[in-house]
Amino acid sequence: MIELAGWDLRAELAGLWQICFHEPKRYPNYFLNNYFRPQDCLVYRMEGRVAAALYLLPARIAPDGTQAHYVFAAGTLPEFRSRGFMASLLAYAALYGARRGDKFSVVLPANQPLYSFYEQNGYFDYYKIQSVSIERERLVQLASPCSSCRVIACASELNRLRNSCLCRRKGSVLWSDKRFHFTMGFGSTYGDELVCSGPMDHHSYAVCRKANDTVCSVREVMTAPGGFSGLAAAVLKRFPAKTYEFRLPPGQGLFPGEGTEERCGMIRPIGGALWEPAVVLPPYLGLGLD
């Protein structure tokens, strides 16, 4: 039976998360204690247990803010797999989302084989990232030598910057200020850190994570006009590394023609919406809690 979760299911949902994603309890607990809403969680009950679950996190689609949802943390207990439970949940999620006004369902599959699974359930390859690896020496050359200090900026300001950077990328996923703030906190449990630079109302930011002793993963970058040199200096100071691996919206302009384009998310029209291929700049998902 498919139904909405209740507040009383959080402990069981945390256990399912740990089993499905092989993560310690602090990760699901952070999500369930800080962002969980029963109306955003669908569960498949079997034999009195939650056999499978997924979360439909509210989102908007550029450029006009079309209502959508992001399918997050979809998982099935091992003993209930290969029985169609997740396919049923996704089908119900499309109907449920359409009833509440969502026009699109977006998902970032956890691995490449899952793209085929979601394709079988109505999703299209849609989102991409540009992966570029930069050696420290080159980033030093691009950095402003007098702008290495970090600054503090509020989530709403940074999210406005993000929305303005993505508004020309039709189909890109936009988040609320609350979702942006939560993502920064949730990411910190995995080692992410928000690095900001620039003057008031013209901040730029990067979400960074130390991959190992020599590599820094720069998981998202959004810059105000002319802001990358100061941001590069701040990243270099906070995250000294030999190599910096950037994940960027394709065609962003920071490193044109470099790196490789990689698939990074899928979309499904629901409620009678029409799916349109990207025309000019490729759409971008980003901050997908991957």
All residues at 6 or more sequence positions from 288 whose CB lies less than 8 Å from its CB, including other chains: 70, 72, 108, 173, 264, 265
Token reading at 282: 């490729």
- Tokens encoding 161: 């910057």
- CA–CA separation, 39 and 56 (whole Å): 9
- The yes-or-no answer to whether 2-126+264-269 and 129-262 have a common fold is yes
Which contiguous run of DSSP H or E holds residue 267?
A: strand 266-269
The two three-digit tokens of residue 59, written as one number: 């989102």
What is the full per-residue pLDDT of the chain (290 aa) written as tens digits? 999 999 999 999 999 999 999 999 999 999 999 999 999 999 999 999 999 999 999 999 999 999 999 999 999 999 999 999 999 999 999 999 999 999 999 999 999 999 999 999 999 999 999 999 999 999 999 998 765 556 778 999 999 999 999 998 999 999 999 999 999 999 999 999 999 998 877 899 999 999 999 999 999 999 999 999 999 999 999 999 999 999 999 986 799 889 999 999 999 999 999 877 777 788 999 998 87
DSSP state of 283: P
Classified by CATH at the fold level, domain 129-262 comes out as Aminopeptidase (3.40.630)
Report the topology of domain 2-126+264-269: Aminopeptidase (3.40.630)
Domain spans of the chain, in order of start: 2-126+264-269, 129-262
Cis peptide before 24 (omega within 30 of 0): no
Beta strand extents in 83-177 (DSSP E only): 104-107, 124-125, 128-135, 173-174
Question: What are the φ and ψ backbone dihedral angles of 278, each rounded to 5 degrees?
Answer: -65, 140
